[in-house]
């Protein structure tokens, strides 16, 4: 008799679980729709900029941007999810900000080596050839890596990339732009740097994350001030790998 009762209880529990799953009323079955809804539910802009890299492009053609970058597994995404994943390994194409769209994420070339700068030059030139202008910015205070690049009409006009940890530039190219004029930026490739006393001078300026934001604001968009803006389009962005 006890065995029959136990078998009956097990059968009832098994049937209940099967019926619940079949009708979509378990926590497991409900989790996915609710989670996806939070990803595509439009939200407020999220500031970013520190310990990350991004590209600014003067367009809102997200599909064309994704094609040029060769992004895969593209999905719509709101700000919160997009920036969160961008700080991991994905690439987030933001909603339009004024005339600009930002492409942010650790999935982009970091610009912290000669090889990655070469990759970025190709990417920026393709984007600027299509959309007139494209810019790259990167900063990470731990190793004091700071970089900015600009391409116009398919040609690189300015590159400045510096790593404080090693005390040298990765690449310096082109003339200083307006926000850089007046700054005596450290340049390990300059003729002056061939002299020993150059490295001990007190009048040299060293790039930091705040200078990166200042240049970004002058060229296009300062991503640390997005929540202060009123010209951000009410739309979803796109995220991919």
Per residue in 204-235, pLDDT (tens digit) is 999 999 999 999 999 999 999 999 999 999 99
pLDDT at res. 83? 97
Alpha-carbon distance of 116 to 122, in angstroms, equals: 10
Cα distance from N-terminal residue to C-terminal residue, the chain: 60
Cβ atoms of 116 and 110 within 8 Å: the answer is yes
Exposed, middle or buried: residue 48 (CB in 10 Å: 0-12, 13-18, 19+)?
A: buried
Alpha-carbon distance of 13 to 201, in angstroms, equals: 79
pLDDT at res. 123? 98
Q: Could you tell me if residue 38 is inside a domain?
A: no
Alpha-carbon distance of 179 to 176, in angstroms, equals: 8
pLDDT at res. 37? 62
Q: What confidence tier does 4 reach under pLDDT thresholds 50, 70, 90?
A: very low
Q: Could you tell me if residue 94 is inside a domain?
A: yes
The number of distinct structural domains making up the chain is: 1
Alpha-carbon distance of 36 to 168, in angstroms, equals: 45
Range of the domain at 220: 53-240
Q: Could you tell me if residue 46 is inside a domain?
A: no
Cβ atoms of 204 and 197 within 8 Å: the answer is no
Q: At residue 13, does pLDDT exceed 90?
A: no
Q: At residue 18, does pLDDT exceed 80?
A: no
Q: What confidence tier does 40 reach under pLDDT thresholds 50, 70, 90?
A: confident
Q: What confidence tier does 41 reach under pLDDT thresholds 50, 70, 90?
A: confident
Q: Give me the helices (H) in 70-140, please.
A: 79-86, 114-131
Q: Could you tell me if residue 143 is inside a domain?
A: yes
Q: Could you tell me if residue 1 is inside a domain?
A: no
- What residues have CB less than 8 Å from 63, skipping those under 6 apart? none
Tell me the average pLDDT across 132-143.
96
pLDDT at res. 42? 84
Cβ atoms of 159 and 173 within 8 Å: the answer is yes
Q: Could you tell me if residue 215 is inside a domain?
A: yes
Q: Give tens-digit pLDDT for 112-133.
A: 999 999 999 999 999 999 999 9
Q: Could you tell me if residue 43 is inside a domain?
A: no
Provide the β-strand partners of residue 136.
55, 149
Q: Give tens-digit pLDDT for 158-197.
A: 999 999 999 999 999 999 999 999 999 999 999 999 999 9
Q: At residue 22, does pLDDT exceed 60?
A: no
Q: Could you tell me if residue 63 is inside a domain?
A: yes
């Amino acid at each position: 008799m006890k065995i029959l009762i136990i078998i009956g209880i097990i059968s009832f529990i098994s049937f209940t679980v099967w019926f619940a799953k079949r009708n979509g009323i378990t926590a497991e079955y409900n989790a996915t729709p609710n989670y996806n809804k939070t990803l595509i539910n439009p939200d407020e802009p999220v500031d970013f900029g520190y310990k990350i890299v991004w590209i600014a492009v003067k367009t809102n053609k997200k599909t064309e941007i994704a094609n040029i970058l060769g992004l895969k597994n593209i999905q719509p995404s709101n700000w919160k999810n997009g920036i969160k994943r961008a700080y991991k390994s994905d690439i987030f194409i933001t909603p339009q900000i004024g005339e600009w769209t930002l492409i942010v994420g650790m999935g982009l070339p970091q610009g912290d080596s000669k090889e990655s700068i070469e990759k970025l030059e190709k990417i920026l030139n393709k984007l600027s050839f299509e959309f007139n202008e494209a810019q790259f910015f990167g900063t990470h205070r731990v190793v004091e890596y700071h970089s900015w690049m600009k391409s116009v009409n398919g040609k690189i006009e300015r590159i400045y990339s510096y790593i404080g940890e090693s005390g040298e530039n990765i690449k310096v190219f082109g003339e200083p732009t307006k926000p850089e004029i007046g700054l005596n930026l450290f340049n390990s490739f300059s003729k002056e740097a061939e002299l020993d006393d150059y490295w001990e001078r007190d009048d040299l300026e060293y790039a930091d994350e705040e200078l990166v934001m200042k240049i970004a604001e002058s060229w296009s968009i300062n991503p640390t001030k997005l929540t202060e803006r009123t010209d951000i389009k009410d739309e979803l962005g796109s995220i991919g790998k």
